[in-house]
C-alpha cells in the first residue's frame, strides 16, 4: 500500500509550508486523515520538528487555496524511514533574530520552514 504525498501552504507572513501524507482517505476531515511533517516556532525563538496527525490541508481554515500539490507517493512501510532519514536528519531552524529584528548571524540568509521543507525533499 502506498500513500499520496503533498506539499501545502497555510496563511501567514510568510506562508507556512509543510508536507502532508494522506494515510486514511476515509477520514480526510479529521486528524486521522494523514500526517503533517513540518517545523513550528519562529525566527526569534527557533523552531522544532513537530510531526502530527492532521486533516487534509484543504479542510483547514488557514490553508491557502491552490497550494496543495502532489509530489509523489510513499510506501506504508517507508513512513518511519522517511521520518528518521529525511525529516529528523534536517535540523529545525535555529533562532535567527533579536527582538529588535537584528540578525543573530549577519551575512547568512534567514532559514525558514519552507527552506527546511526543501532540504527534507532533497
The end-to-end CA distance of the chain, in Å, is: 23
Q: What pLDDT shows up at residue 16?
A: 97
Q: Are 45 and 55 in contact (CB under 8 A)?
A: no
Q: Are 36 and 18 in contact (CB under 8 A)?
A: yes
Name the β-bridge partners of 20: 6, 36
Cα angle vertex 45, ends 44, 49, to 5°? 125
Q: What is the pLDDT along the chain (122 residues), one digit of tens a residue?
A: 999 999 999 999 999 999 999 999 999 999 999 999 999 999 999 999 999 999 999 999 999 999 999 999 999 999 999 999 999 999 999 999 999 999 999 999 999 999 999 999 99
C-alpha–C-alpha distance, residues 118 and 109, integer Å:
15
Name the β-bridge partners of 2: 75
Residue with cell 535555529: 94
Amino acid at each position: 500500500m502506498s500513500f499520496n504525498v503533498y506539499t501545502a501552504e497555510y496563511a501567514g507572513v510568510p506562508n507556512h509550508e509543510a508536507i502532508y501524507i494522506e494515510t486514511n482517505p476515509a477520514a480526510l476531515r479529521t486528524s486521522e486523515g494523514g500526517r503533517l511533517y513540518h517545523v513550528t516556532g519562529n525566527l526569534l525563538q527557533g523552531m522544532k520538528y513537530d510531526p502530527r496527525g492532521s486533516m487534509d490541508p484543504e479542510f483547514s481554515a488557514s490553508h491557502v487555496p491552490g497550494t496543495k500539490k502532489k509530489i509523489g507517493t510513499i510506501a506504508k512501510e517507508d513512513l518511519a524511514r522517511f521520518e528518521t532519514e529525511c525529516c529528523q536528519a534536517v535540523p529545525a531552524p535555529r533562532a535567527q533574530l533579536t527582538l529588535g529584528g537584528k540578525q543573530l548571524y549577519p551575512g547568512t540568509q534567514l532559514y525558514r520552514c519552507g527552506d527546511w521543507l526543501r532540504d527534507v525533499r532533497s
